[in-house]
Amino acid sequence: MLWGGRFAKSMDEQARRFNDSIAFDRRLYAADIQGSIAYAHALLRAGLLTVEECDQIVAGLEQVRAELAAGVFVFHPEDEDIHTAVERRLTELVGQVAGKLHTGRSRNDQVSTDLRLYLLEALDALRQSLVALQEAIIGKAKACLDVIMPGYTHLRPAQPVLFSHWLMSFFWKFQRDRERLADVAQRTAVLPLGAGALAGNPFGIDRQALAAELGLAAIAENSMDAVSDRDYVVEFLSWAALLQIHLSNLAEDLILWSSREFGFVELDDAYCTGSSLMPQKKNPDTLELTRGKSGRVVGNLVGALMMCKGLPSGYNKDLQEDKEAVFDTIDTLSLELPLAAGVISTLQVHAERMAAALDEGMLATDLADYLVGKGVPFRQSHHLVGQAVKRAEELGVRLHELGLAEYQAIHPAFAEDLYAVFDYHRAVERRNVLGGTAPAAVRLQIARAKALLEEEGC
């Protein structure tokens, strides 16, 4: 135990279990030991450890790390948290000199240092998974450049778009998620160590050197802020929540489009399950879970915010609640991202089903644009085409089947060439603006996306 001198009796058993965090914070062991090795070096530089003592402590910590990594570390019931467990084992290995390691340090500055180091590593892994997903999107988008699908607004057919255009829309969402990730990482890479319990280290610890050894870009400027700040946790969780929503949106589109009624895409068997009752079923469970896990990922964010609300200044034990939220969110995203990449890269695209779902009504805007070409103001042409749609409905024909006389009765600017509007390829090709759905624009978009990844050295 790291404390107890002033106590007359031991803790209530339930209170002890309630207080313990070892069940989950053992995940921080590598970061904890990394931080402790750097701290031993700082104590050496400050003249609080001899070279020999420092070597003993560092060698001992390395052995503790090896035992934990190999899964042979034996936890004791009194190991309240990972910091206690590591120091207890270090004492067993190197004796009383271990007691010098915590000089001037508190678990308050220690735990936040650990969590920041841990989070930075996790962020880097998530960044790589995001890049892999973006690459899967680009790969599929390039392979499907000739596929036209109905684009929707309000989940009603709106205008034809390239399937690749839809796919690439997610590339940019994930690109922004990656930009935000870099921002979160920057504010996470700040050193709390040296803050002590709250007032700062009294032993002349060189915090700049500590930060440099731990690869952190900055040091916390205020010791009270350093031990109580969990902004970086909230930032990470809110970053994650937004990424999770993007994954959920992607999943929802694919669930819908892989349904029998749409049939636009077929999910690979590898990402689906069957029904225990209905032999014909092929369920998109991977995507449904990706959508469903939004509850926990967003919940983790809300939980962390609630944990912070109402805290008085300084460290409070409430803050122990930060870790499970972080771990759960990391675990969830670490599973979802590679699965999303797998679903995309194995997706079968049914161009003919998408083509069959197009209808001439989706070219009504193009017909209005046609009138604009004849000098009719758009507001008016929109109204006139609306009348044509109504007339076609009355006669029970489709928009392209409505006779020229009917069109001309609506407005004399309609001429025989109006029927050339009813061409889906032409409709997408017309939208050759930067960011538009024309094949040339989408090709350019893909090239820009690839260049972005290359520039970043992905």
Q: Which residues bind ligand ARG (CB under 6 A)?
A: 21, 25, 81, 107-108, 111, 315, 317, 319-320
Minimum CB separation from ligand ARG for residue 3, in Å?
8
Minimum CB separation from ligand ARG for residue 457, in Å?
36
Three-state SS sequence of the chain: CCCCCCCCCCCCHHHHHHHCCHHHHHHHHHHHHHHHHHHHHHHHHCCCCCHHHHHHHHHHHHHHHHHHHHCCCCCCCCCCCHHHHHHHHHHHHHHHHHHHCCCCCCHHHHHHHHHHHHHHHHHHHHHHHHHHHHHHHHHHHHHCCCCEEEEEECCEEEEEEEHHHHHHHHHHHHHHHHHHHHHHHHHHCEECCCCCCCCCCCCCCCHHHHHHHHCCCEECCCHHHHHHCCHHHHHHHHHHHHHHHHHHHHHHHHHHHCCCCCCCEECCHHHCECCCCCCCCCECHHHHHHHHCHHHHHHHHHHHHHHHCCCCCCCCHHHHHHHHHHHHHHHHHHHHHHHHHHHHHCCEECHHHHHHCCCHHHHHHHHHHHHHHCCCCHHHHHHHHHHHHHHHHHHCCCHHHCCHHHHHHHCCCCCHHHHHHCCHHHHHHHCCCCCCCCHHHHHHHHHHHHHHHHHCCC
Pick 88 or 291: Cβ nearer ligand ARG: 88
Minimum CB separation from ligand ARG for residue 254, in Å?
39
- 203 alpha carbon, distance to own chain's centre: 41
Pick 111 or 304: Cβ nearer ligand ARG: 111
Strand partners, 283: 273
Q: How far is it, in rounded angstroms, from Cα 299 to Cα 308? A: 14
Minimum CB separation from ligand ARG for residue 158, in Å?
51
Minimum CB separation from ligand ARG for residue 11, in Å?
13
Q: C-alpha dihedral over 329, 28, 236, 299, to 10 degrees?
A: 40
Pick 6 or 317: Cβ nearer ligand ARG: 317
Minimum CB separation from ligand ARG for residue 328, in Å?
15
Pick 58 or 319: Cβ nearer ligand ARG: 319
Minimum CB separation from ligand ARG for residue 81, in Å?
4
Q: CB count, 10 Å around CB of 152?
A: 15
Pick 315 or 327: Cβ nearer ligand ARG: 315
Minimum CB separation from ligand ARG for residue 240, in Å?
20
Catalytic residue among 10, 259, 275, 313: 275
Smallest CA-to-CA distance from 430 within 143, 160, 138 is with 160
Pick 107 or 293: Cβ nearer ligand ARG: 107
Pick 149 or 319: Cβ nearer ligand ARG: 319
Pick 78 or 359: Cβ nearer ligand ARG: 78
| Amino acid at residue number 417 | D
Strand partners, 153: 156
Pick 107 or 165: Cβ nearer ligand ARG: 107
Instruction: State yes or no: is 275 an active-site residue.
Output: yes
Using CA atoms, how far residue 420 sits from 396, 415, 427, in Å, is 21, 10, 10
Minimum CB separation from ligand ARG for residue 61, in Å?
18
Residue partners of 209: CB distance under 8 A and separation at least 6:
41, 42, 45
> Which residues form the catalytic set?
154, 275
